[in-house]
Structure 1
Amino acid sequence: MSKKIIHTNDAPKAVGPYSQAVSCESKRTVFLSGQIGLDPKTGVLVQNNFELQVRQAFNNMKAVIKESNASLENVVKLNLYLTDLSKFDIVNQIMSEIFPEPFPARSTVGVLNLPKGAEFEAEAILSL
């Protein structure tokens, strides 16, 4: 995969660990469904801890990425959904620990509700 980061000073700088845009040439594109903080062994949502929900959702995403014969480096676009946008900085911190640079493009959206009462959901597009 050839991944090129696109940046211009004529648009606002990213306010987190993501790139303004990512261009890629790929042989295969993988679209991951949204992942929430469900424990894969029990199917139960991680409760009462936003940070642990975020980490579990990203761990679930990494498992699907691995099964796709890919890695986090193949993620070119993330869509993140939060029920409380005041926790945006927590997500940025965790994401900067998990994802390698150069970061993928990303959108973050505040939503009223998520499945199973989750506070966070992440979906991704991979280019291989």
Structure 2
Amino acid sequence: MSNKEIISSSNAPQAIGTYSQAVKVGNTVYLSGQIPLIPATMEMIEGGITEQATQVFKNLSAVASAAGGTLNDAAKVNISLTDLGVFAQVNDVMAQFFEQPYPARACVQVAALPRNAMIEVEVILAL
């Protein structure tokens, strides 16, 4: 892929594995999954699902900005939760970061996430 551009932001956690924060191909930006790490310390944010979801969407916002967009450019959002019982709380947090019309979305429950996070979210932007 010769038109692939790597996107990164110091305002979001650095990759903790063999991946980039985001990759832009044409007008599409693929944001890697974010967990609730504080960018400055790379430590998990303290608190429950509301605090974790808020940090995740802040991290995603920073990467979207580095790509030249915002979360309102999202075409698709994929959410992984370790407990679907917190879905309503995540939905409330998401409403603080997105405006209508909302993107397509999937939400699944998973057995575990890196660093024992309760949530991981990945986004595809259409700029």
TM-score, normalising length: structure 2: 0.78
1:79-98 mapped onto 2 (5 Å cutoff)? 79-98=78-97
Map of 1:47 onto structure 2? 46
Unmatched 5+ stretches in structure 1: 1-26
1:47 Cα deviation (Å)?
2.8
1:50 Cα deviation (Å)?
1.5
Q: SS state of the match for residue 42, structure 1? A: coil
Q: SS state of the match for residue 124, structure 1? A: strand
Q: SS state of the match for residue 81, structure 1? A: strand
Distance 2:47 2:62 in 1: 23
Q: SS state of the match for residue 92, structure 2? A: helix
- Segments of 4+ moved more than 2 angstroms: none
Distance 2:46 2:116 in 1: 9
1:46 Cα deviation (Å)?
1.1
Identity fraction in percent: 41
Map of 2:33 onto structure 1? 34
Distance 1:73 1:96 in 2: 11
The number of residues matched between the two structures is 103
Closer/same/farther in 2, CA of residues 42 and 29 from structure 1, 3 Å limit: same
TM-score, normalising length: structure 1: 0.77
1:78 Cα deviation (Å)?
0.1
Distance 1:110 1:86 in 2: 9
Unmatched 5+ stretches in structure 2: 1-25
